[in-house]
Amino acid sequence: MCGICCFVSFSVEHCRKDLKEDLLCNLKRRGPDSSKQLLKCDMNYQCVFSGHVLHLRGVLTAQPVEDERGNVFLWNGEVFSGIKVEEIENDTQIMFNYLSSCKSESDIMSLFSEVQGPWSFIYYQASSHSLWFGRDFFGRRSLLWHFNDVDKSVCLSSVGPQTPGVANQWQEVPASGIFRIDLQSAAMAKHVRLQLYPWECISRENATEECDKSLTHASADLPMFVSVVANEAKLHLGTPVSPLNMTLPQAPLATHCSNISSVPPSRETLQVCLTDGHMKEVVEKFIDVLSVAVKRRVLCLQRDENPVPNGVLKTGDRKANVAILFSGGIDSMVIATLADRHIPLGEPIDLLNVAFVTKEKTVLSSRNKRTRKQKNHEMPPEEFSEGTAARGAGSPDENYSVPDRVTGKAGLKELQAVNPSRMWNFVEINVSLEELQQLRRTQISHLVQPLDTVLDDSIGCAVWFASRGTGWLVTQGEVKPYQSSAKVVLTGIGADEQLAGYSRHRVRFQTRGPEALNREIAMELGRISSRNLGRDDRVIGDHGKEARFPFLDENVVSFLNSLPIWEKANLTLPRGIGEKLILRLAAVELGLTASALLPKRAMQFGSRIAKMENSNEKASDKCGRLRIISLENLSLEKEVKS
């Protein structure tokens, strides 16, 4: 995983050799293992390339990489399949070798059509003065763009700092396909023309309409000197997943589960569903394909073969390489169980469980407030959480018994029963209102933007604190401060979108039927890049960690897309069974118990961050707390409060 950036200037008087310090700082946090900058000058334009690498596989390859012909490549991705990458090889160099050998635009389209895994990239093709860039089909890696008409510049970056009082500086590059800029033409015309090479339309009869939608979406909110057009060669990328099966039931749903629709959910009721031979076969195939997706994501990383001298491992010496955003819910439980199959047994797995102090318990005595202000006066953000935790070391859980903490502890016991030989590190991450407000201002708001709703604030903050991994381990009655060393963070995003896990899915099914539910699921997958994934990549990447999404593996999505809706979710069945039915049945097959029946609970509610500061706001409201404020205003705010 990397922080990548390219700044292009078409104006001689505004040329620069270095990126701004705040932008570099944010990029370096994403890629702490290597930083490098490269300047390319032409008569009509200048490009500054900046690469910051988080080393996870193969030989450490500094970025940007350049070949003897002057081509330059920046890669923020993982090749999990489609193109062969040996265990000792680095996928950045492999991708660059392939790109350098491409002789036409069509060759480039063929290459990226083959790649399976998350990616964003920037590629400068010297011979044609072309700048290519884009994100994968689901938008699992962040890439932002910023166009400045004043100094005639274009900037592409994994993350972008926001300037107080300036709106819409950075926007997410749409995951609509790959873009190309002819830099010479743009310099001479004083107009940036973005040629789009879109993903192939799955529905042939709607191909023209879908292409128009892609162009419209990509053109949104761009300045006047920028336009998006279809590429002149009419080329496209091959869509990496199968089309969604829109088949409708010919009669009212009748399965082995139908006779339990009025019975309270239990593990036995799910076992009844598995007596259907066809359903059991489907579930077993689902487990197999999801298991392979998890395996790729937990093994494609660098491991220390000899972590301690003489091979003697003590409990405190064992470092986790993989962590899971863990609520104890069905999504994270299944991922944890499958990860346990593939991660070496002597290696711990970190289960990151975040909780925000409930509102009524944030009121401190004036004496405690004064003490806290004195102690935290000049504490750096990185030390803030540990210092806050240390002051309550006697009972870290006292004020943080939120729903996700309760189900998380129950889930831990289930996992320990599945594999008692595994060291499961249940990390209790406790966040006070004071810490939330400080770190939102200084760090998180920059990462969540350009998204700006109350929901983005809640989820962005929760994921940032969880993935940081600073918390507590409670083992054998002993409480210890803990910092997760894992560079890979698995998350369950994508399960609800594909398996009708949200309450809105049940409402849509009950009011408009299975056809409307199919359309809703298709829409969910189509918009996941702009609603979730870029934000989550920026937030998790800020800690020098990489987010990986097993439920959005191309083969997993294709398998689920191939099934009719009633084999994935049966919303005639009660809550806790009908939604994400296939995943619940998989959980039973994997030996899980109570977690297989837990109904969906959104992270913002389970962690209790939602409505923590304003009980009257709606998730879709614009969030004033994400407003970027200057350091001067921040100092003034502190003076007023004190």
pLDDT of residue 91: 94
Residue 385 has pLDDT above 70, yes or no: no
Q: Tell me how long the chain is.
A: 642
pLDDT tens, 290-315?
A: 999 999 999 989 887 644 444 444 45
Whether domain 266-302+318-641 has CATH 3.40.50.1370: no
Token pair 């996870």 is at which residue? Answer: 56
Higher pLDDT, 252 or 410: 410
pLDDT of residue 311: 42
pLDDT of residue 242: 94
pLDDT of residue 121: 98
> What are the residue ranges of helices labelled H in 513-612?
514-528, 534-541, 554-562, 565-568, 581-589, 603-606
Does residue 456 contact residue 445 with C-beta atoms inside 8 Å?
A: no
Determine the longest span between alpha carbons in the chain, in angstroms.
75
pLDDT of residue 495: 96
The arithmetic mean of pLDDT across residues 458-462, rounded, is 95
Q: If we measure between CA atoms, which residue out of 335, 308, 306 comes closest to residue 322? A: 335
Least confident residue range of 74-83, 389-398, 426-435, 587-596: 389-398
Does residue 254 contact residue 152 with C-beta atoms inside 8 Å?
A: no
pLDDT of residue 629: 58
This prediction's pTM: 0.89
Kindly name the residue from 2, 47, 257, 273 that is annotated as catalytic.
Answer: 2
Does residue 601 contact residue 327 with C-beta atoms inside 8 Å?
A: yes
What's the whole-number average pLDDT of the chain? 86
What would the two tokens of residue 148 be?
A: 């400045």
The arithmetic mean of pLDDT across residues 275-302, rounded, is 95
Least confident residue range of 380-384, 422-426, 460-464: 380-384
Q: 410-424, 474-488, 589-603, 618-632: which has the highest mean pLDDT?
A: 410-424
pLDDT of residue 252: 64
pLDDT of residue 478: 85
**27 Rama sector, left if φ>0, alpha if ψ -120 to 50, beta otherwise:** alpha
Residue 216 has pLDDT above 80, yes or no: no
Residue 211 has pLDDT above 70, yes or no: no
pLDDT of residue 616: 84
- How distant, in Å, are the alpha carbons of 71, 109, 211, 238, 480 from that of 192? 21, 22, 20, 26, 55
| Strands laid side by side in the 226-230 sheet | 65-66, 72-77, 119-125, 130-135, 177-182, 192-198, 226-230
The arithmetic mean of pLDDT across residues 193-210, rounded, is 75
Residue 388 has pLDDT above 50, yes or no: no
- Rg, the chain, Cα only: 25
Least confident residue range of 165-179, 423-437, 509-523: 165-179
pLDDT of residue 363: 44
Confidence of residue 611 (pLDDT cuts 50, 70, 90): confident
Confidence of residue 209 (pLDDT cuts 50, 70, 90): low
Residue 630 has pLDDT above 80, yes or no: no
Residue 407 has pLDDT above 50, yes or no: yes
Q: 18-27, 330-339, 385-394: which has the highest mean pLDDT?
A: 330-339
Token pair 């102690």 is at which residue? Answer: 375
- Listed in order, strand segments (DSSP E) in 149-191 are 153-157, 171-172, 177-182
The arithmetic mean of pLDDT across residues 244-256, rounded, is 75
**468 HSE (CA, 13 A, CB side):** 25
The arithmetic mean of pLDDT across residues 353-365, rounded, is 66
Q: If we measure between CA atoms, which residue out of 107, 157, 33 comes closest to residue 449? A: 157
Is 461 annotated as catalytic? no
pLDDT of residue 397: 64
Confidence of residue 253 (pLDDT cuts 50, 70, 90): low
The arithmetic mean of pLDDT across residues 474-494, rounded, is 92
Residue 22 has pLDDT above 60, yes or no: yes
Main-chain phi, psi angles of 66, to 5 degrees: -135, 145
pLDDT tens, 50-62?
A: 999 999 988 999 9
Burial of 524 (0-12, 13-18, 19+ CB in 10 A): buried
Token pair 């594999």 is at which residue? Answer: 419
Residue 100 has pLDDT above 90, yes or no: yes
Burial 422-432 (b: 16+ CB within 10 A, else e): bbbbbbbbbbb
Least confident residue range of 2-6, 268-272, 295-299, 356-360: 356-360
| Domain at 2-230, CATH class | alpha beta
The ranges assigned to domains in the chain are 2-230, 266-302+318-641
Q: Which residues contact 152 (CB under 8 A, 6 or more apart)?
A: 9, 10, 11, 14, 190, 225
Main-chain phi, psi angles of 411, to 5 degrees: -65, -40
